[in-house]
A and B are shown apart, each in its own frame.
Chain A
Amino acid sequence: DGGITQSPKYLFRKEGQNVTLSCEQNLNHDAMYWYRQDPGQGLRLIYYSQIVNDFQKGDIAEGYSVSREKKESFPLTVTSAQKNPTAFYLCASKNTGTNTGELFFGEGSRLTVL
């Protein structure tokens, strides 16, 4: 089945460590997105990529980094510079070739800093 796979589902990190969240899609979508979800703040856009080897900062990119070396993959690294990284992270993709604009989401990754 086509879809978006995020891993790991749960991740624990010590302060000062970098961690990488994986996002893989087999929907053949060009665009991919990373959102952060905190209670009461909805989904906030971290980074997005419209095409391979290109990506742009979203609203809260500080302390995060991404790469887009393959169409299927858009990993997110939470660096030690991110002051409050404990959150739920959602990856999404979109087919830019259609007009519907719908985002397809993964199941999310819960990051907890100990």
Chain B
Amino acid sequence: AQTVTQSQPEMSVQEAETVTLSCTYDTSENNYYLFWYKQPPSRQMILVIRQEAYKQQNATENRFSVNFQKAAKSFSLKISDSQLGDTAMYFCAFMNIMRFGAGTRLTVKP
């Protein structure tokens, strides 16, 4: 079975600091897409960053970057210089099967 696991239900970070959210997945496929979505209190799902498995370079979008370890099937999200607006639920997603992890609730503290 193909699954997506987020082992951190809740995390907190001080404003301006760095935090890393973990995600692991299980698949037998060689090419696939991984995403991180953010869901703020408005509950609108917002795409944060994407990674294509065949690309060895880790994706970066401004303050957001990923550490993609294909052999370990790990896909963590690093948020640098955390801002109060980053407070949200974060979901890791494996897009070939359209499945999401259980989410990590991130709170940025002033």
Contacts and interface: CB of A to CB of B under 8 A. Distances in A.
B4 to A, nearest CB: 8
B71 interface: no
A45 B2 CA distance: 13
Contacts of B91: 42-43
A105 B44 contact: yes
Contacts of B50: 100-102
A78 interface: no
Contacts of A58: 98
B11 interface: no
Contacts, number: 49
B101 A101 contact: no
Contacts of A105: 44-45
Contacts of B25: none
A102 B43 contact: no
Nearest to B102: A42
Interface of A: 33, 35, 40-45, 48, 58-59, 88, 90, 92, 94, 99-103, 105, 107-108
27 contacts: A35-B100, A41-B102, A42-B91, A42-B101, A43-B91, A43-B100, A44-B100, A45-B98, A45-B99, A58-B98, A88-B43, A90-B45, A92-B45, A94-B98, A100-B33, A101-B95, A101-B96, A102-B35, A102-B95, A103-B35, A103-B45, A103-B98, A105-B44, A105-B45, A107-B42, A107-B43, A108-B44
